Amino acid sequence: MLEKLKQIWKIRDLRNSIIFVLAMLAIFRIAAHIPIPGMDVKNLRDFFSQNQVLGLLNIFSGGGLENFSIVMLGVGPYITASIIMQLLAMIIPSLEALSKETHGQEIINRYTRYLTVPMAALNAYGFITLLQRQSGQLIGTLSSFQWLSAIITVTAGTVFLMWLGELISEKKVGNGISLIIFAGIMAGLPGAVQRTLAVFDPSQALNIIVFVAIAIVTIVTVVFMTEAQRNVPVNYAKQVRGNRMYGGVNTHLPLRVNMAGVIPIIFAISIILFPPMIAQFFVGAPRQFIASAARFIVNLFQNQLFYGISYFVLVFAFTYFYTYVIFHPHQIAENLQKQGGFIPGIRPGRHTAEYLQGTINKILLAGALFLAVIAILPIAMQPLTGARSLVIGGTSLLIVVSVVIETVKQIDSQLTMRDYEGL
C-alpha cells in the first residue's frame, strides 16, 4: 500500500489530479456551510434531527439541507434529470438512436444539464414551502424578492456542484458526482460519532460492539456483491481478411450481480418520500376530512414496519425495472453476431438473446435481494443495537464502498497505462 502511494506521489500528473480533486471537494464542503441569509439554522438542525425522512435527504446533501446552504439540494436534481433522460431514451426512438452514438451521448448529457436547472428550481420551491408550513415557524413569511433570490441561489448552487463534478471527472480519478455524494456522506460521520459518544451509556457497550461487528460484516458483503459477476464464455471464430487471419479468441462476457448500482434505491427513496411530503402540505387544511387523511398518511409512513416493508418491496421491484432498462440482450446478441462471436452451445441471434436474458434473471434475484436488504438495514439495526445516532445507513455504505472501489480502479488503470508508456 505504501509503495503504491509513493508511486502515485512520484507521478506528477496523477499527483496534481488528486490534489485538484481534493481541492474541489474542499470547496464543496465550504459551500455546504454557507447558509442562505435570513434563515434560522439552529431550528432547522433540530427539525432535521427529528425527521427521519428529511434526515435521509440531509445525509446525501452533506448537511447542506439542515444548514439551508447555497448547495442544500446537492446533486440530487442532476441525478433526477439523468434518470428522466434515461427513461425518455426508452420511450422516444430518436433519443434511443442518439444514445447509441458517441456524439449523441454528448448531446444527451447537454440535455441533462438543461433539465437540471428547472428540476433544481422546482425542488427549491418545494422544500422552502414545506419548511414554511411546519409548526414552529422554521421559515417566516418571505417577500417576493426573498423567494426569487432563494430559488435562484439554490438553483445556482446545484449548477455549481454539477460543474465541479464534471471538472473532477475530467481528471479521471473517479466519477465527480459520485465523489461529491461520497464527500457529503463522510462529512456526516464525525458528527454521528460525536452524538453517540455524548449520550454513551456504559450499559449499552454490548450494543455498540454488535453495531461495529455488523458494520464490518456489511462492508465485506458490500465489497463482495459490488465485485461479483457471472462470466459468460464467448468464442470468436477465425476470419481471413486478405493475407491475415483474425479472431479465434476465447473470452467472456461479464454480467454483474449488482448491475443497477444504487439507482433502484434512489428511485425507491423518491417514491416513498413523495406521499408523506405531499401530505405535509395538507395537514393544516380547513376541511377536516383532508386534514385527517393527510395526518393518517404522515403517521403511516412514520410507522417503522410499514416504512420498512414498503421500502424493501420498492427497491426489489426497481432493481428489476432498471436492469431491464440498461441491459439489452438482443443488442448484445446482435453485436456478438456481427463480430463473429458466439456462446458455446448456443445458436447466434435470438437464442443467444434468450440465453442472456435467462442468465441475468437468475443472478438478478441475488442482486435485488442484496439491494433491498442494504436499504432497510438502518431500520433493522435500530431495535437491535439501540444506537440511533450511529446509523449512517446501508445505502450510504453502499455508495461509499462503490465510490472507493471505482476511484481505486481508475487510479490503478492510470498507473498501469504509465507502466506501458515506460516500456
The predicted-structure confidence for 131-160, as pLDDT tens digits, reads as follows 776 655 566 677 788 788 888 998 999 999
pLDDT over 70, % of the chain: 78
Overall average pLDDT of the 159-183 stretch: 87
Mean pLDDT confidence for 379-393: 57
Q: Which residues contact 357 (CB under 8 A, 6 or more apart)?
A: 329
Q: Give the span between the Cα atoms of 22 and 323, in whole angstroms.
A: 33
> How far, rounded to the nearest angstrom, does the alpha carbon of residue 88 sit from its chain's CA centroid?
20
**Which cell goes with 58?**
440531509
CA distance 99 to 162: 21
Q: Is 220 exposed, middle or buried (0-12, 13-18, 19+ CB in 10 A)?
A: exposed
Structural domains in the chain, CATH included, are 12-198 (1.10.3370.10)
User: What average pLDDT does the segment 195-212 reach?
Assistant: 68
d(CA 121, CA 369): 35
298 close to 279: Cβ distance less than 8 angstroms: yes
Name residues whose C-beta falls within 8 Å of residue 396's C-beta, 6 or more positions apart in sequence: 59, 60, 185
Is-contact 367 225, C-beta < 8 A? yes
Q: What is the pLDDT at residue 117?
A: 93
Give me the mean pLDDT over the 65-91 stretch.
82
Alpha-carbon distance of 263 to 311, in angstroms, equals 14
Confidence of residue 391 (pLDDT cuts 50, 70, 90): very low
Which spans in 61-136 are helix H?
76-91, 93-99, 102-132
In whole angstroms, give the CA distance from residue 24 to residue 41.
25
Report the pLDDT averaged over residues 353-373: 87
> Using one digit for the tens of pLDDT, what is the confidence trace for 251-270?
888 888 888 777 787 778 77
Q: What is the pLDDT of residue 144?
A: 81
What amino acid occupies position 259?
M
User: What pLDDT is recorded for position 155?
Assistant: 92
> Contact, 14 vs 8, CB < 8 A?
yes
Q: Can you give the pLDDT at residue 250? A: 76
> Which residues in 276-314 are b (16+ Cβ under 10 Å) and which e?
bbebbebbeeeeeeeeeebbebbeebeeeeebbebbbeb
pTM higher than the cut 0.85: no
Over the stretch 211-243, which tens digit does the pLDDT of each residue have? 777 778 777 887 888 788 888 888 877 665 656
Enter the DSSP assignment of 202: G
Question: Strand pairing partners for 244?
Answer: 241
Whose cell is 442494504? That residue is 374
